[in-house]
Amino acid sequence: MATVHLKRWLGVAVVAGVVSLAGGVAYGYWRLDGNLQTVNLEHEIGPAEARPPKTPGQTLNVLVLGKDDGRSDTAMVVNINAAGDRAKVISIPRDTMVARPACGTNPPASKVMFNSAFTTGGAACAVKTVEAMSGIRIDHFIQIDFSGFARLVDAIGGVEIEIDEPIHDEKSGLSLDAGKTTLNGQQALAFVRTRYSIGDGSDLNRIKQQHKFLQALSAKLANENWLGDPVKTFELADDATKSIVTDEDLGSLAKLADLAEKLHGLKPDAITYQTLPTEPYAPDPNRVQPKEPEADQLWELVGAA
């Protein structure tokens, strides 16, 4: 989306570029705008005063959720500084045991897996849970459908990535030798899903894979004129806008383009990737819990940035 580098790896970067390309093409703009689905966060999770305060003119926090077969096993808090030229990406492992607040008619739960928040109450419940566990305000969310993600990778001609060790994963169907390779859409989807055939098979290893892929995707899009073909750009934007859900405050091409303008200085090498510090959860060896005080210290840095 125009000069926005953040959107390059969020998978919805095309929108702002299409806004500028569309110009007076009213039908095209209307069609893309109509593709967007939105959620009213205030209606879903309560009034603004019941949430952590906003920090006008300071940082911007966007929760990015990957929807896969009705679940959200990928959650990243993207913290962008006030100048819009640096960002932190903080992944929350899906298996992290957290306290989930009440969501809709669902009562609060003292200890549940983080990804169950999405299953319980969709993106709004995930936002509310992140705010409760971190104490920071989530300004916007972007939910990306994984099937749409695969189509977008194909539309940009695949993504070249360095594979550190051979991957032969029966569960995801991915089979790759070590070395450089270009992933197509289905391979990219399998790559960001893979966990059992790498390292210790934990979700933390899958997160490392996701960060590696996002870095490669960001580098590719930063170095190519991927908005040079208006027809291809429109097709890419049409697919992208059908694959995302946002909060109402972000849910239009005009608002996405406005966010793009604010982030014009964000380059791939100015994005750092982190994972929420965790430790084993004693009652269940297959789960983890936030490690303190490191987890709280990380959220404090995000809120103060």
CA-CA distance, 80 to 117, in Å (whole number)?
24
Contact (Cβ atoms closer than 8 angstroms) between residue 33 and residue 268: no
* Residue range 2-49, pLDDT digits in tens: 333 333 334 334 333 333 333 334 445 566 778 888 999 888 887 777
As a whole number, mean pLDDT of residues 164-176 equals: 84
Domain extent, residue 105, equals 6-304
- Is 1 inside a domain boundary? no
Query: What pLDDT shows up at residue 199?
Result: 62
Q: Are 227 and 214 in contact (CB under 8 A)?
A: no
Q: pLDDT digit string (tens) for 252-295? A: 877 877 776 676 677 778 889 999 999 999 999 889 999 999 99
Domain count, the chain: 1
CA 300 to the chain's CA centroid: 21
Contact 152, 236 (CB under 8 A): yes
Cα 164–Cα 169–Cα 170 angle in degrees, nearest 5: 170
pTM of the model: 0.84
Q: Where are the beta strands (DSSP E) in the chain?
A: 37-39, 60-68, 71-80, 87-91, 97-100, 109-113, 140-145, 159-163, 167-169, 174-176, 179-183, 244-247, 271-275, 278-281, 284-290
CATH code for position 277: 3.40.630.190
> Per the domain annotation, does 75 fall within a domain?
yes
